[in-house]
Structure 1
C-alpha cells in the first residue's frame, strides 16, 4: 500500500512539474499572492522549459564525466598494480569537496571565461567523490570465493572485472551516481552567476527584484527535479541489487 502511494505521489509531482513547465500561466493565481506592486507572478525573462532542459544538460554532462573518471580511478586502485595510488586518488577526488563550487567558479572564470564551461568544471569536481568511494566499496565488497572461482575456471583479469566484479558492484556505483547527480542538480543553480543558463536565473531574478514568486518557482522546479531524479535512480539501484 505504501509503495503504491509513493508511486502515485511521484506521478502527481511529475504531472505538476510538466504542467508548470508547459503551461506556467495556469499557476499564476497560486503565485500571485507572493508578488507586490503588480510584479509578474510567472518568470518572464526567459522560457522556463528551456532553462530546465539546459539545467539538466549541464548536470548530466558533468555527472557523466565525473562517473567515467571516478569509476576508472576506482578500478585502477583496486587492482594490484594501482593499490599504492589509492591515497593519491582519494586526495584528487576530495578536491571538489575541499573547495566550494563558488570558489571553483571564481578560479575557473579567468581561465575559461563566462558560460557553461566553469560550471561544468565545478560540478565535475564536486561529483567525483561519491562515485569514487561507492565504486571502491562495490569492487572490494565482491565475495572473494566468487573471484577465486572465476580465476579457477580460467577467466582473465579483464574478464573477471567486466563479467563478475563490475556487475556485482553496479548497484553501489549507481548509488554514488545518484548522490552525485542530485548534488549536481542543486549546485548547478550557482552557474547562473557566471553566465550559464540554469534555473538559478529565476532565483537570482527574484532576489534582485524582491519577487518571492520567482524565487519559489525556481526553487520548486529544482526541488521537484531532484526528487524525481533521486527516486528514479533509487529504483534502478534496487533493480540492479536484486539482479546481482
Structure 2
C-alpha cells in the first residue's frame, strides 16, 4: 500500500512538473549558479518527454516482435539447431555499446532519431529473447502433454497454452528492455534525437546542475513508473494471479 502511494505521488509530482515546470523554479534555483535559469526552456519539457517515450516504445515494440518471434522459432521441432545463431544475433546489441552503434549508424542513417532507434532496438533484443526462451522451455511437461492429448494442433498449443503461460516471463524481459532503453535513449541527443538527454547535456555544457537534475529526475521517475507498471501486469497475468480468480 505504501509503495503504491509513493508511486502515485511520484506520478502526480512528475505530471505537475511537466505541465508547469516554472512552478518548481524556486526549488531548483539553488542548483543554478551565477544567475543561470533553473528551468530548461529551450524546448517544452513535456514535448521532450513524449518524444522520448515514443522513441523508447517504438524500439521496444520492434525488439519484442523480433525477439519473441525468434524465441518461438527456435523452440519449435526442427528449428532447435538455429538456437546458437539466434542467440548470436540477439547478442549483437550487448556486444556493441549503444554509443558505438550510434557512431557507426550516423554515417549511414544521418542525424536524428534513426540511429538511436537502431541502438535501442539492438540493445533490447537479448533480454526479451532469453526470457521468451525461458518461458517457452520452462513449461510443465504435463501441461503440454495434456494439450496434445486434447487434440490441439501445434499452432493451437502455442497460441492457447504455451504463450499465455509464458507471457509473465516474456513480459519480465520486455520490462528489462524498456527500462534499459528509457535510460539509454538519453544519449540519442548527442546525434540530434529529441530526448530528455537534451536537458542533461545542456546542463553539463553550461555547468548548470539544475538542468542535469531535472532531466535525470524525470528519466528516473519514468523508469520507476514503467517498471512498476510492468510488474503489476506480470502479476495480473501470472497463473493463479488476480486475473485468474475473477
With normalisation by structure 1, the TM-score equals 0.98
1:53 aligns with 2:61: no
Q: Deviations over 1:19-51 (max 9, x none)?
A: 000010111011000011110000011100000
Partner residue, 1:5 = 2
Aligned counterparts of 1:26 and 1:234: Cα–Cα separation in 2: 32
1:60, CA displacement in angstroms? 0.1
Aligned counterparts of 2:120 and 2:50: Cα–Cα separation in 1: 17
1:156 aligns with 2:157: no
Partner residue, 1:223 = 220
Of 189, 204, 219, the residue aligned with 1:207 is: 204
1:102 aligns with 2:99: yes
Of 189, 192, 205, the residue aligned with 2:189 is: 192
SS in 2 for 1:133: helix
Partner residue, 1:142 = 139
1:161, CA displacement in angstroms? 0.2
Aligned counterparts of 2:160 and 2:78: Cα–Cα separation in 1: 20
Aligned counterparts of 2:158 and 2:40: Cα–Cα separation in 1: 50
Of 118, 125, 129, the residue aligned with 1:128 is: 125
Aligned counterparts of 1:82 and 1:14: Cα–Cα separation in 2: 45
CA RMSD of aligned residues (A): 0.7
Aligned counterparts of 1:129 and 1:234: Cα–Cα separation in 2: 19
SS in 1 for 2:38: coil
Partner residue, 1:165 = 162
1:25 aligns with 2:22: yes
SS in 1 for 2:142: helix
Structure 1: 5+ residue runs without aligned partners? none
SS in 1 for 2:62: helix
Aligned counterparts of 2:228 and 2:59: Cα–Cα separation in 1: 20
Aligned counterparts of 1:49 and 1:35: Cα–Cα separation in 2: 21
Partner residue, 2:90 = 93
Partner residue, 1:111 = 108
Matched residue count: 241
Correspondence list, 1:226-237, <5 A: 226-237=223-234
